Amino acid sequence: MKLNTYNLFGLITMMALASCQALADDPDRRARWQASFKAAEPIGREITSIDDHSALQQAGLKTGDILIAVNNEVIRDANHWSDLTYSLRAATDYTLTVKRNNRQLDVITRLPGAPLEQYQGLNVEYGFITSDYGIRQRTIVTLPEDTSDKLAAIYVVGGLSCSSIEYLPGRKSNFIRALQDVIRQTNMMVFRVEKPGVGDSDGRCSETDFNTELNGYEVALQRLLQDPRIDRNKVIVLGSSMGSALAPYLANKYRLNGVISDGSFYRSWFEHMLEIERRIQTMNGHSQAEVNQRINQAYIPLYYGMLIEKKSYRQVINEHPLLASYNYHDDAHMYGRPVAFYHQMQDFNFAGEWSSLTAPARIRWGTYDWIMSEYDIDMIADTLAAAGHPDYEVVKVPHLDHWYSLHQSALDSYQGKPGRWDDSISQQLVSWAKTLNN
């Protein structure tokens, strides 16, 4: 097995590493806290556990300590904490400001780099692209060791959240589990790119807008299509959640060989938010009469102000103070992304991309996916049928939720109850990839 790193300007291997040891001396590699935290009031993060022999333990930190700041940057909220954590780099000194028993102290420490992915019989290449916005973003490419024949390829686009698309030991994500099966079992090149501010990428995810993120996906896809090891006529896009709605756009623009769309949507984000809000209010126990009243009096004006009038939630609430009790989003963020992200996304014509799609398409939706709507999936199918699309398939999987888990009800998924994994979840993706790229 080999792990390779290639630079921005080519596909030439620069490094061959013999193991998956953490890159402790690589300043490009993200660092690990080796500790667990919970939110503290009014600011900071309280340490709830520390790994033995970790850098934090060696620096004298203890459970119960409250981390206030990193390099004098005060930890304000969850979005800021995520950005700050992803920005940590190995082989770098950090000054940690800690509160203990109402006393404040500073400690200086270096955190270890995160381990790299490894797969038996596969090469793993870590590299970077630089987007047109000047942001350097981490790419991760897996491929068979034998590249004497041209390879089929899968380009992966993940969801909305500021979550890494990389596997790290101990990570519990059924999406990542499914992705690992695709990597291991398709015998294809699989190409991933991290969002700005996620993983080893530069930038801050909570400040990245839609256009900037989409450009990174396009620049990374262009890199893949220029790789001399692939068969240009056998490249498909596998999109999950938000990525599944962007998949038709990428397939149309770059003439890809097929689309796998998992948990997608069709309508505008304004329509999406009103529909998901109705489901959320219902699952929160409100009667349908109450739900209807809340939608009309609160959520239509709230989301209209943010998405159609292009305002922040704070601006909307300043104009309509009674909406404050209904709003559970941050003043300038939703789901960890800035409101500018949604302003731009609202103007993106997802339905138009689906209606223009000519590449073969495989579309999946879980019956307990309370994030995305079954009606959107039906609209996609109706649109493809009306256009005379010759090769598409829609599968609705019983009990499957938005995060690749099987549940007894959509409510169980909404309430965060543990779901169940089944190998068929990933095997369907593997089978579709092989069919589309045969």
46: β partners: 38, 66
Cβ neighbors of 67 (< 8 A, separation 6 or more) are 37, 44, 45, 46, 47, 75, 96, 97, 98
The CATH number assigned to the domain holding 79 equals 2.30.42.10
- pTM for the full predicted model: 0.92
pLDDT value at residue 25: 61
| Sheet of strand 122-130: strand arrangement | 15-17, 3-6, 122-130, 136-144, 189-193, 151-157, 230-240, 258-262, 361-366, 392-397
Q: DSSP label at 323?
A: G
The reply to whether 62 and 169 lie within a common domain is: no
Question: Diameter of the chain by CA atoms?
Answer: 70
The reply to whether 258 and 386 lie within a common domain is: yes
Last residue of a domain, one of 110, 131, 165: 110
Last residue of a domain, one of 110, 132, 161: 110
Please name the helix (run of DSSP H) or strand (run of DSSP E) that holds residue 345, with its range, or none. Answer: helix 339-346
337: β partners: 334
Owning domain of residue 243: 122-262+349-436
The reply to whether 317 and 399 lie within a common domain is: no
pLDDT value at residue 371: 97
Please report where in the chains the tokens 């998956």 appear, as a residue. 20
The reply to whether 182 and 331 lie within a common domain is: no
User: 297: number of CA atoms within 13 Å, CB side?
Assistant: 12
Using DSSP, state whether 265 is helix, strand or coil.
coil
Cβ neighbors of 18 (< 8 A, separation 6 or more) are 2
Please report where in the chains the tokens 């998924």 appear, as a residue. 413
Number of structural domains found in the chain = 3
The reply to whether 419 and 276 lie within a common domain is: no
Phi, psi for residue 236 in degrees, rounded to 5: -120, 160
Mean pLDDT in consecutive groups of 10 residues from the start of the chain, 438 residues: 38 38 68 96 96 95 96 94 95 95 94 94 97 97 95 98 93 95 98 97 97 98 98 98 98 98 98 97 97 97 98 98 96 96 98 98 98 98 97 98 98 96 98 97
pLDDT value at residue 26: 80
pLDDT value at residue 76: 92
pLDDT value at residue 2: 37
The reply to whether 333 and 353 lie within a common domain is: no
Is 60 inside any structural domain?
yes
